[in-house]
Structure formats: C-alpha cells, structure tokens
Structure 1
Amino acid sequence: FFRSLPGVLGVHFLASAVRVLCAIAIAVILAVPAGLGLGQFKQVDRIFSPLIAILYPIPKIVLLPAMYILVGITDVSKVLLIALILFFQVLVVVRDEAAALHPELILSVRSLGAGRKALFRYVYLPASLPAVLTSIRVSVGTAIAVLFIAEQSLTQYGLGYYIVVETYQVLRYPEMYAGILAMSLLGVLLYLAIEAVERRVNRHLYAEES
C-alpha cells in the first residue's frame, strides 16, 4: 500500500477524491437554499413534498445508465449521481430544520427590521448548518459505495476502476487489497474532515458536553 500510494494508486485516489468533493460541493450549494426555501414557504413545501417523498427512497445508483445517456460517459455523470444522492439527504434535513424553528424567534428578528434575506442568512442558515454537516458525514459511506460502483466501468481513473479492472480482473490481489485500503482511507478522511468542521461549527455544544 505505502509503495503504491505515491505512484499509480495515488493517481486513482486523487481522481476519486476530486469526484466525491465536487459532488458534496454541488449537493450543498443546491440543497441548502432549496431546503431553506421549502422550510420557510409552507405553500411551496406542500407542492413539492409529494415529489420529494416519491424521489427520495429511489436507489439513485439505478440512474447511472440514464446519466450516461443524458450527460455522456464522463466524470460529470458520476459526480452528478453522487451529488443527487447527497442532495435529497441534505434537502430533507435543511427543510425540516428550517420548518422547526420557533415562530417567536423569527418574529423577534423581524421586529428588528430584518427582511427575508437577513432571515435566511442569520436565522435559517445558522440553525440548519449543524444538521447539514451531520447529514453529509452520515452519507459519506453511501457516497463512497456509489463511487465504487460508478468507477468500475467506462472510465480509466478512480479507485473503483483500479480495484476491479486493473487488479482483480488480472489477479493482482496484493494491489487489489491496497486499492481497497485506499478507498477505505478516503472514506475515513472525508468522515474525519466533515466531523472536524462540524465540531468547529458546533463548538458551544461540544463545550457543554465536556
């Protein structure tokens, strides 16, 4: 593992890491504003809630062939698939957190002259951010699993491709186990990184626990 990581394995590790990080960024950028909007505007939430309830339980990995047709056999299709999975998880969490805010808190901020933009920035977003980070941290395992499946074919770089095509299929078992270890390491590093950000954001909560 340590001999392979600086070489070919490191290239595949970096390719997988970039895909996951891009997917997380896309999901957060799209899901947080959408979730805040649904949580604040009840009528809009009533319209979209049935659609979310239908789409959320669908195993998104089955959409990979459709992604290839719509977007093409590129990294974009793999990134969008992972982003789609994370999008719904973050969207539901943010919507529920925003909808659960006490009306008294919102009224008190509005009484100070705050408009909708100020409410989004200073009330809804800070209240939802801890839950957003928790949902992403919990979803890391799912994202890595989907990444592994998506990288097994129609690509030349990525840990999924390295494990299945470059090592397993040609009986290079020591390198295969090194690839498995690298993919596990990627998941652990992402989990710890998000947990560190979560601890920084929720510093007051961890201070109370200690």
Structure 2
Amino acid sequence: MSHKRSEIRITGAVWLCLLVLWILVTNTGLVSSILIPSPQAVWRTFVGVLIHGYNGIPFWQHLGITLWRLFAALLLAILTAVPIGLGSGVSPKIYAAVDSLIQFYRPIPPLAYYTLLILWFGIGEGSKILLLYLAAFAPIYLACVEGVHHLNNEYLLSARSLGAGKWTTFRYVTLPGALPDIFTGIRTAMGVSFSTLVAAEMVAATSGIGWMVIDASKYLKSSVMFLGIFILGGLGLLLDWFLRVLERHIVFWKGHE
C-alpha cells in the first residue's frame, strides 16, 4: 500500500510541476499566447464552451458524438478481432488465411485509406466508425494471437491428459490464459483509436471533440485546441483506468500463476 501511495505522490508531483511550469511560461510572456495559451485562458474557454457550446453546437453533443464513434468502433473491433485472433492462435489454417491481410494493412497510416472509405461508404458516420474500427482491430487481433502462443504448453497437456476436449480446453485453459494479453490489446487499441479520432473527424464532420481541434486550428484558436487535446487526453486516461480496474477484477489471477 505504501508503495502505491508513493507512486501516486510521484505522479501528482510530476503533473503539479508541469502545471507550475506552464503558468510561469505563459504568464511571464516568454511565449506568445497564440503558441501556448495560459491555463486561465484554457479554463475560460472551457467554461464558455460548456455554457454556450462551440460553433452553435452544445458541448455535450460534441462529446457524445465523439464517444459514440469511439465506443462503436471499439465494440465492433472487440467482437470481431477477439474470436478471429484466438482462432488464428489456435488454428494454423485460420492464421494462414487472415494474418497476412491484417499485417498488410496494419502499418498503413489511416489517412492513406480514409479517402477510399469515404468514396466507398460516404461521408456519414459509417466511414468514420470504420476508420476507427480498422485502427483498433489490428492491435486486438495481434494481442489475441500472442496470448495463445504465449500460453504455457503444460496447461494444455494437463487438460488433455485429464480427458478435456478441444472446446473444453479452449474455454477453461486457452481463453483464460490469453485474457491478460487480450486486455493489453484492447488498451493499445483504445490509444490507437484516440490518435485516429482527429483524422476521422477532420473530413466532412461538423461536430466532435476532434473536429473542434481541427476547426480551431484553422483560425489559430489555440485555447480551443488545447482544450480539445486535454479533453481527449483526459478521456484516454479515464478509459484506460477503467480497463485496468476491469482487468484486475476479471483476470484476478494475473501475476499469481
């Protein structure tokens, strides 16, 4: 417990130092407010956007559409990448059929094929969610495959020696053994999706936190840009914390094998 409290104090001290440095740099005129707005300016912008919205759209609508796009893509990625990844880890035939396709598109920057997605699926929500889905799919798939491959072979042999069939072995040995890697893949996918979110909202969009950042950059509204960045970063921290708490409850045996 004391070790955990020490980590919390260190984390708090780092953020406090950054805040103090930010205040000193911006309030002493060392840098232009256009380049780096002061914390007070960002806070005033937040209050103004919270009360009046941005570009005639309420703040909660911007936040809601961003979360909808993100969660819809992540949920679809989890529902498809987990079974395909586990199947690829268990079956060499499935692995041979799908792995090369995923490895082919995985290193391609999302903006490189976003225009194609718009041409094929239109400028609506479908192309945006699909872009985030593709960004999230690969990390989850790879984590599932590695989770199966890293599984201690003695567990599988023990289950088979006790008469467990393929499905029973998968359900009680393979899947629980791969869960830590699966959660790591989901956390990675969430981070990748956040980094792709601005790209998803920069084309043919009129709402969303990422769109706010892009729109503000056109008019050098640095306080709005900083606000959007802080909101996205804060959401990322909050969701990652939630996933880690969920992992501790579901994968309670992690670290005690």
What one-letter code is carried by the residue in structure 1 that aligns with 2:243?
A: I
* Alignment-derived partner of residue 110 in structure 1: 160
Who is 2:206 aligned against? 156
2: CA distance, partners of 1:92 / 1:46:
14
Alignment coverage as a number of residue pairs: 206
Match for 1:99: what amino acid? Answer: H
Displacement of 1:3 in angstroms is 4.7
Q: Does the CA contact (< 8 Å) of 1:78 and 1:150 recur in 2? A: yes
Q: Aligned pair in 2 of structure 1 residues 198, 48: CA closer, same or farther (>3 Å)? A: same
Structure 2 residues without counterparts, runs of 5 or longer: 1-45
Structure number with bigger Rg? 2
Comparing 194-203 and 73-82, the one that deviates more: 194-203
Query: How far is 1:155 from its partner?
Result: 1.4
> Does the 8 Å contact 1:9/1:162 carry over to 2?
no
Greater relative contact order, per chain length (Cα 8 Å cut-off, separation 6+): 1
Q: TM-score, normalised by structure 2?
A: 0.71
Asked if 1:190 is matched to 2:239, the reply is yes
Q: Which residue of 2 aligns with 1:5?
A: 50
* Distance change >3 Å, CA 170–CA 131, structure 1 → 2: same
| Deviation, structure 1 residue 40 | 0.9
1:143-200, CA deviations, whole angstroms, 9 ceiling, x for partnerless residues? 11211111022012211212222x3434544334322322222222222222222222
1:1-210 to 2 correspondences below 5 Å? 1-5=46-50, 7=53, 8-165=58-215, 167-205=216-254
2:198/2:214 contact within 8 Å kept: no
Amino acid at match of 2:192: T
The answer for unaligned runs of 5 or more in structure 1 is none
Sequence identity (%): 31
The RMSD of aligned alpha carbons is 2.3
Mapped to 2, the partners of 1:104 and 1:161 lie a distance apart of: 51
Task: State TM-score, norm by structure 1.
Answer: 0.85
- The separation in 2 between residues aligned to 1:127 and 1:61, in whole angstroms, is 35
**Hey, which bits of structure 1, 4+ residues long, moved more than 6 A?**
none
Q: Which amino acid aligns with 1:182?
A: I
Partner-residue secondary structure (3-state), 1:4? helix
Contact 1:4 1:10 in 2 (8 A): no
SS, match of residue 60 in structure 2: helix
